Amino acid sequence: MRLVSFREGGEHRLGVVDGLELVDVTARVGDIGLRAAASPLRALLSAGGSIADILAVPEGERRLLDSVQLEPVIPDPGKIIAAPVNYRDHQAEMQEDFHIDALGVFLKAPSSVIASGGTVRLPYTDRRFDQEGELALVIGREARNVSVDEALDYVAGYTMLLDMTMRGGEDRSTRKSFDTFTPIGPFLVTPDEVGALDELQLRTWVNDDLRQDADIRDLIWGVPQLIAYASSVMTLRPGDVITTGTPAGVGQVVDGDRLTVEITGLGTLTAAVSSEDAVVCPTNGARRGPRPPEDVTPVRSR
């Protein structure tokens, strides 16, 4: 099953994707008394149980998918947990001494999410900003101290994410949490439809240039280990996002660029880049921190 969040009449709504159409199932979520202040998708996940069972034989108004205003697939994540340096080729290109084994995880601001098709707004005129395409997952039920063997049971579905990054010596969470710095979506795809994670491939383009081309099986910490570790640090709740890290091929983006991420079976995530209203950066971290490559690391040959 593929779920999509969209907006209509000022309201968050939820759809089940059927080819080029979606079925509006927002009323179904309301019927089971889950709406409260949460988005329909987060409310649905908070209900527990199987998404497929709750939305069995989805009924509702049909409309063309390209006729709706998409939202971030999870418009109101409780938290976004990110994995630094989780591919060895990215560790090499960044000249990092350590990877996730030593670094653990960090948090991105939930307010940084935007929908597929949205615009990443670069805040400063005098800093470098890079694209990082990633596989992400959404937690489906509360998890605390789960084992690696049980971890995938807590996944509601998978999606794609761009972890936009300001380079420099400021804290990772600061450099990656500007508003619009987390394009996410367009779909939440349930695990049964995704299949084996080790068979997925990730590709990221800037304009027409393929910058990143990686196999998900090359993650240093795979998805189960990431979930298990994160749940040992903090309680994971329905609607939380975990993003798995980026492979080699990060590079600078500038005003007017177009970003595209594709992962096997998950669709296509896009974003534009704008520097409109950018100002001079008030912090002095530009010459500190991890050192990105001057030139984009060439994609490997398969």
Over residues 229-264, the pLDDT tens digits come to 999 999 999 999 999 999 999 999 999 999 999 999
pLDDT at 150: 97
Mean pLDDT throughout 286-299? Answer: 87
Over residues 161-218, the pLDDT tens digits come to 999 999 999 999 999 999 999 999 999 999 999 999 999 999 999 999 999 999 999 9
Beta bridge partners of 130: 165, 252
Residue 302 pLDDT exceeds 60: no
Over residues 48-75, the pLDDT tens digits come to 767 877 777 667 789 899 999 999 999 9
Beta bridge partners of 8: 11
The pLDDT confidence band at residue 85, using thresholds 50, 70 and 90, is: confident
Do residues 232 and 145 touch, judged by C-beta distance below 8 A?
yes
b/e map 264-278, b = 16+ CB within 10 Å: eebbbbbbebebeeb
Residue 36 pLDDT exceeds 70: no
Q: Is the link from the previous residue into 186 a cis peptide, with omega within 30 of 0? A: yes
The pLDDT confidence band at residue 301, using thresholds 50, 70 and 90, is: low
Over residues 134-143, the pLDDT tens digits come to 999 999 999 9
Q: Among 261, 258, 252, 255, which residue's Cα sits nearest to residue 292? A: 252
The pLDDT confidence band at residue 144, using thresholds 50, 70 and 90, is: very high
Residue 94 pLDDT exceeds 90: no
Mean pLDDT of the chain: 92
Mean pLDDT throughout 108-124? Answer: 98
Distance between CA atoms of residues 86 and 219, nearest Å: 6
